[in-house]
A = this chain, B = another copy of it.
């Protein structure tokens, strides 16, 4: 028996067939449009980076357990990037001398993490990364939060569908020290424990906190204080410096209102975040993974050179976002059929068929022509089955009159059109067919 090669993608990775790719493209086109409307410029970096770029700067869990690590033919210790922030910080440092600040940059990398296999988790995902460099001003947080919200609105989310949960590590450290009785040197260990707080029963978390030698009741009372009260628990001078507290006071300017909530339980496991951290969550409690997340990292660029350039940014990945759209039944419909097929019952009409197809392409239409001789009826049936919107039939009689038949494949209606009017007529038929599809 012949041994065939496997047709599936690697475990934990995905093939994007045209239908799925079309949805991914439609969704990300909306996101790009928002990001570019704020003046962000696209950049790109190589997929492989040296291991040292992540070691002890990124998330320990990712570096130790989830990297795709390899040694290349030159003996270099490399990683397939698990996230984009170290790469963009490196690039900003590389052009620091000539860079105009603030710099607004975005990218759309594929990222690799060797995650345990479970529903909705993939080892390769695509992420829009948006970063703003060169300012410590709270206006940066305001802009970044507005962009996040507008990205959500752009794909059809409503105010009630998502919450933007924000925190500030400096503020939370201040509150835990001043009100929770936590000594400075135990804060990092406590943050590690709090990262699991929402996933565990409260009693379980209290045990863990007690084991750290802390007063679990005071700690839990502090981190679960209502938003208004929490913001008063840190020392005043810390609260006054907090960018997220300022943005909460000032509010956001967005197309629709945004549920913006201070939440000290937003921890984010990346070592490089210095103060603000934030995540977007579905309001549907069934969907508990964050849709986007980010933070401020004012010291990361400084690891690459003398110039300290503050940064703030976030990533929004395709897996959780498209899950969210499906949950709320607002995912776009795939669009895969060509606009028009040009055919003729007469094999001798190959020249005119090819020329008409060429002219329609130049007019901006997506046009297919038959590659093998088949009966006209079969060609039309096949085109309709593939979702092609209309057919141009170049019969010898019509061609002699400088005309063709234009057939609407969904409605099975046809009429004669002069070649000089053809591009406009096809565009009209396609537009009508797309609007019918959207209505139905």
Say whether A257 faces chain B, with CB atoms less than 8 Å apart.
no
| Inter-subunit contact B135/A372 (CB<8 Å) | yes
Residue A72 contacts which of B48, B49, B68, B354 (CB distance < 8 angstroms)? B68
Residue from A6, A25, A37, A150 with most neighbouring chain B CB atoms (10 Å): A37
Chain B residues in 8 Å Cβ range of A5: 52-53, 90, 303-304
CA distance A73 to B80 in the complex (A): 13
Q: State whether A368 and B43 are in contact (beta carbons under 8 Å apart), knowing that A303-B5, A355-B253, A361-B37 are contacts in the complex.
A: no
Cβ distance A33 to chain B, nearest Cβ, rounded Å: 8
Chain B residues in 8 Å Cβ range of A361: 34, 37-38, 150
| Inter-subunit contact A7/B305 (CB<8 Å) | yes
Say whether A186 faces chain B, with CB atoms less than 8 Å apart.
no
Residue of B nearest to A34 (CB): B361
Residue of B nearest to A117 (CB): B74
| Inter-subunit contact B48/A21 (CB<8 Å) | no
Chain B residues in 8 Å Cβ range of A100: 382, 385-386
Residue A18 contacts which of B105, B132, B355 (CB distance < 8 angstroms)? B105
Q: State whether A366 and B39 are in contact (beta carbons under 8 Å apart), knowing that A50-B6, A52-B5 are contacts in the complex.
A: yes
Say whether A205 faces chain B, with CB atoms less than 8 Å apart.
no
* Copies of this chain present: 2
CA distance A366 to B22 in the complex (A): 25
| Inter-subunit contact A44/B70 (CB<8 Å) | no
| Inter-subunit contact A112/B47 (CB<8 Å) | yes
Chain B residues in 8 Å Cβ range of A25: 42
| Inter-subunit contact B37/A364 (CB<8 Å) | yes
| Inter-subunit contact A9/B46 (CB<8 Å) | yes
| Inter-subunit contact A48/B10 (CB<8 Å) | yes
| Inter-subunit contact B37/A366 (CB<8 Å) | yes
Say whether A104 faces chain B, with CB atoms less than 8 Å apart.
yes
Chain B residues in 8 Å Cβ range of A112: 47-48
Residue A45 contacts which of B16, B364, B372 (CB distance < 8 angstroms)? B16
Which of A137-145, A161-169, A262-270 lies at the binding interface? A137-145
| Inter-subunit contact B42/A371 (CB<8 Å) | no
| Inter-subunit contact B38/A16 (CB<8 Å) | no
Which of A91-99, A222-230, A289-297, A430-438 lies at the binding interface? A91-99
Residue of B nearest to A335 (CB): B41
Contact with B along A363-390 (1 / 0, CB 8 A): 0111111111000000000100110000
Say whether A124 faces chain B, with CB atoms less than 8 Å apart.
yes
Cβ distance A55 to chain B, nearest Cβ, rounded Å: 10
| Inter-subunit contact B36/A21 (CB<8 Å) | no
Say whether A11 faces chain B, with CB atoms less than 8 Å apart.
yes
Chain B residues in 8 Å Cβ range of A21: 41-44
Residue from A9, A95, A124, A254 with most neighbouring chain B CB atoms (10 Å): A9
Residue A15 contacts which of B16, B45, B385 (CB distance < 8 angstroms)? B45
Say whether A8 faces chain B, with CB atoms less than 8 Å apart.
yes
Cβ distance A361 to chain B, nearest Cβ, rounded Å: 4
Cβ distance A382 to chain B, nearest Cβ, rounded Å: 7
Chain B residues in 8 Å Cβ range of A135: 371-372
CA distance A105 to B36 in the complex (A): 28
Cβ distance A134 to chain B, nearest Cβ, rounded Å: 8
| Inter-subunit contact B68/A44 (CB<8 Å) | no
Cβ distance A132 to chain B, nearest Cβ, rounded Å: 8
CA distance A72 to B50 in the complex (A): 17
| Inter-subunit contact B47/A124 (CB<8 Å) | yes
| Inter-subunit contact B41/A7 (CB<8 Å) | no
Say whether A181 faces chain B, with CB atoms less than 8 Å apart.
no
Cβ distance A108 to chain B, nearest Cβ, rounded Å: 11
Say whether A246 faces chain B, with CB atoms less than 8 Å apart.
no
Say whether A240 faces chain B, with CB atoms less than 8 Å apart.
no
| Inter-subunit contact A255/B358 (CB<8 Å) | yes
Cβ distance A389 to chain B, nearest Cβ, rounded Å: 11
Residue of B nearest to A136 (CB): B372
Say whether A76 faces chain B, with CB atoms less than 8 Å apart.
yes
CA distance A76 to B14 in the complex (A): 17
Residue of B nearest to A8 (CB): B94
Closest 6 CB pairs of A and B: A39-B338, A13-B46, A18-B41, A70-B70, A7-B94, A37-B361
